[in-house]
A and B are shown apart, each in its own frame.
Chain A
Amino acid sequence: MGFSKIIPPKIAQKIMNGVFIASGIVTLLILVLILGYILVKGLPAFNLEFIFGNPIDSGKEGGIFPMIVSSLYVTLIAGLIATPFGVGAGVYMVEYANNNRIVRLIRFGAETLASIPSIVFGLFGLAFFVVFLHLGWSILSGGLVLAIMALPTIFQVSEVTISSIPNSYREGSLGLGATKWQTIYKVVLPAAIPGIVTGVILGMTRAISEAAAVMFSVGASIQTPISIFDPGRPLPLHLYMLATEGISLEKAFGTAAVLVILVLIITIVTNLVVDRYQRKIMGK
């Protein structure tokens, strides 16, 4: 590069240091400013009535309680369904799989699943769960779509975590006469729990943030869903509708702020819990 010949290395070093630091600061600033703006603008909408009240006049007035319930409901269903499949697949890949072709096929499947756009999942949910399986517009249909979306994340993180457990753990257990499954269940999985939990939470944050994937499967009802066959309207979908249909800017800001806070709480609490568990295991 001609550039490096003209500028002495030491000065180039100083320039680049400046560039690196500046880009770090700029990036952080952009992201923090956006979130800060949403939170500051959303805060005035916050009160007990907003969190625990029902929407009035399709969201122009009142609260967002049914949407909070819908969001938590679909996310919980997604987590409950995707976790056993994701973790099970991770265990299989690390502990059992010995056919290279199948391993590669499964990994390819997970990668493809992870790269499908959420709106395509939305279409699939409509054609498969809502229409073909007759589940209708319901929390269950939406939860199932989100479970499929969360699956590759949980699988990939579980696989990485389980394969990072030292082999000496397994050998010790097998040497004491435990069967393979006993070893996995009593030794490998407990040691892998922090990583697996992180993976599950990552998958569930993806689910709770999703609007496009559920917009054709969960319905758009503003009633609080009770049964899994009731329709609902998760928070991101509500925010989208408030903003694009010009219903209420104030409530849209409030909803966005709730959504951001929800994601922040989930991430921070998980990090703390995982940290503590990890320290406890290490301490022993």
Chain B
Amino acid sequence: MQKKKKLVEYLIEKGLFITAIFSIVIILIIFIFIINEGIPAISEYGFLNFIFGMTWAPSDSQFGVFPMIIGSICVTLLSLLMAVPLSLLCAIFMAEVAPDSVRKVLKPVIETLSGIPSVVYGFFGLIVIVPLIREQFGGTGFSMFTASLILTVMVLPTIISVSQDAIRSVPSEYREASLGLGATNWQTIKNIIFPAALPGIITAIILGMGRAIGETLAVIMVAGNVPLIPGSIFDPLRTLTSNIALEMGYATGIHYSALFTTAIVLFIIIIVLLLVAHYFQKKYSMDAYGGHA
């Protein structure tokens, strides 16, 4: 009896271990399959040609994704430029300024909004924002600016709710000490709370950035999808993700493989971003807890 019990405990532990390493296994399989499918295009076209090539013309066997790399980076940065200030102010409002009753309403509303399907936002952009941009700024209305606006709206809830949690988790002693020394609420927020919450806020921004760079269909619906480097923010552009979604439906042979290679490029960009983010996170958490701040 005792022995059987021990065996069951042992098996359960091993079973749980398997569920735990499952995500690692999945990632490995994903990497292997994406890279494996991408190799034919790399070996035929060359990885550097692929990354730095300026022309994407599958019918001519031209597979340069440089304009798409620029496109992805541009829409992501522009949307963060708009989303970060607004969402940080909103997060501070929710965490430090608003009374409890307002916060109790706002928090679930914001969290629910982050669950709204991105296609819905894309659809809204197509119907409302694209005509608006066309009337106000000329052109077709399908542009980098339109796509960035839609992405801004999409990442707002993510950045707000995560950075709000970070601000709320700053120990209240910090706040009380600062207020006790005669600082105003704003001085306390600016000099004490914000620096202490910075690592969490960076995490929030990274999450938002990841969402923006990975978004596909909502961007396709409003960005115009021309595979050229945009000259202004009112020019159309194509992102790496859009490139995959637009052409996968009918791609064959080397073209099919080139779309998997596009995914590899996307992987590399995201890994670089994650590393950069981790670096800043570490750096600022030093400053906030005993550095030279």
Q: Is the CB of A244 within 8 A of B15?
A: no
Q: Is the CB of B24 within 8 A of A20?
A: no
Q: Is the CB of B108 within 8 A of A243?
A: no
- Contact for B26 among A88, A151, A206, CB less than 8 A: A151
**Stretch in A61-69, A108-116, A225-233 touching the partner:** A108-116
Q: Does A135 contact B (CB under 8 A)?
A: no
Q: Does B174 contact A (CB under 8 A)?
A: no
Q: Does B17 contact A (CB under 8 A)?
A: yes
1/0 per position for A241-274, CB-CB distance to B under 8 A? 0011000010010001001100110011001000
Q: Is the CB of A27 within 8 A of B22?
A: no
> Chain A residues with Cβ under 8 A from B270's Cβ?
115-117
1/0 per position for B25-59, CB-CB distance to A under 8 A? 01101100110110000000000000000000000
Q: Which residue of A lies closest to B149 (CB)?
A: A30
Within 78-106 of B, Cβ neighbours of A (below 8 Å) are at 86-87, 89-90, 92-94, 96-98, 106
Within 117-134 of B, Cβ neighbours of A (below 8 Å) are at 117-124, 126-128
> Chain A residues with Cβ under 8 A from B9's Cβ?
179-181
CA distance A27 to B86 in the complex (A): 7
- Contact for B248 among A10, A115, A126, CB less than 8 A: A126
1/0 per position for A48-78, CB-CB distance to B under 8 A? 0000000000000000000000000000000
Q: How large is the interface on B (under 10, 10 to 19, 20 to 34, 35 or more residues)?
A: 35 or more
Q: Does A142 contact B (CB under 8 A)?
A: no
> Chain A residues with Cβ under 8 A from B24's Cβ?
105-106, 109
Q: Is the CB of A89 within 8 A of B22?
A: yes
CA distance A92 to B17 in the complex (A): 6
CA distance A113 to B184 in the complex (A): 43
Q: Does B181 contact A (CB under 8 A)?
A: no
CA distance A132 to B34 in the complex (A): 12
CB-CB under 8 A for A122 and B245, given A23-B86, A24-B94, A89-B20: yes
Q: How far is the CB of A219 from chain B (nearest CB, A)?
A: 12
Q: Is the CB of B20 within 8 A of A106?
A: yes
Count residues of A near B (Cβ-Cβ below 8 Å): 88
Q: Is the CB of A127 within 8 A of B37?
A: yes
Q: Does B5 contact A (CB under 8 A)?
A: yes
CA distance A12 to B118 in the complex (A): 38
Q: Does B186 contact A (CB under 8 A)?
A: yes
- Contact for A249 among B119, B127, B266, CB less than 8 A: B127
Q: Is the CB of A24 within 8 A of B98?
A: yes
Q: Does B23 contact A (CB under 8 A)?
A: yes
Q: How far is the CB of B226 from chain A (nearest CB, A)?
A: 16
Q: Is the CB of B22 within 8 A of A85?
A: yes
CA distance A151 to B19 in the complex (A): 11
1/0 per position for B146-167, CB-CB distance to A under 8 A? 0000000100110010000000
Q: Which residue of B lies closest to A30 (CB)?
A: B153
Q: Is the CB of A256 within 8 A of B86?
A: no
Q: Which residue of A lies closest to B105 (CB)?
A: A28
Q: How far is the CB of B95 from chain A (nearest CB, A)?
A: 10
CB-CB under 8 A for A97 and B20, given A13-B185, A120-B267, A123-B248: yes
Q: Does A80 contact B (CB under 8 A)?
A: no
> Chain A residues with Cβ under 8 A from B21's Cβ?
102, 106, 109
1/0 per position for A195-235, CB-CB distance to B under 8 A? 00000001001101111100110000000000000000000
A-side interface mostly: helix
Q: Does A43 contact B (CB under 8 A)?
A: no
- Contact for B117 among A21, A112, A124, A211, CB less than 8 A: A211
Q: Does B140 contact A (CB under 8 A)?
A: no
CA distance A109 to B112 in the complex (A): 26
- Contact for B112 among A17, A86, A128, A267, CB less than 8 A: A267
CA distance A211 to B98 in the complex (A): 36
> Chain B residues with Cβ under 8 A from A21's Cβ?
93, 97-98
> Chain B residues with Cβ under 8 A from A87's Cβ?
19
Q: Is the CB of A212 within 8 A of B217?
A: yes
CA distance A195 to B21 in the complex (A): 22
Q: List 23 A-B contacts (CB under 8 A).
A: A9-B187, A17-B186, A20-B89, A21-B98, A24-B94, A24-B97, A27-B156, A87-B19, A89-B20, A89-B22, A89-B23, A96-B17, A106-B21, A116-B30, A116-B267, A119-B216, A120-B244, A124-B30, A181-B8, A181-B12, A209-B118, A249-B127, A260-B120
Known contacts A38-B123, A110-B23; 8 further A-B pairs (Cβ under 8 A): A20-B90, A28-B110, A32-B109, A35-B113, A87-B19, A96-B16, A120-B244, A271-B108
Q: Write the residues of chain B forming the contact surface with A, with a CB cutoff of 8 angstroms.
A: 5, 8-9, 12-13, 15-24, 26-27, 29-30, 33-34, 36-37, 86-87, 89-90, 92-94, 96-98, 106, 108-113, 115-124, 126-128, 153, 156-157, 160, 183-187, 189, 210, 213-217, 220-221, 241, 244-245, 248-249, 259-260, 263, 266-267, 270, 274
Q: Write the residues of chain A forming the contact surface with B, with a CB cutoff of 8 angstroms.
A: 4, 9-10, 12-13, 16-17, 19-21, 23-24, 26-28, 30-32, 34-35, 37-38, 84-89, 91-93, 95-97, 102, 105-106, 109-113, 115-124, 126-128, 132, 148, 151-152, 155, 179-181, 202, 205-206, 208-212, 215-216, 236, 239-240, 243-244, 249, 252, 256, 259-260, 263-264, 267-268, 271
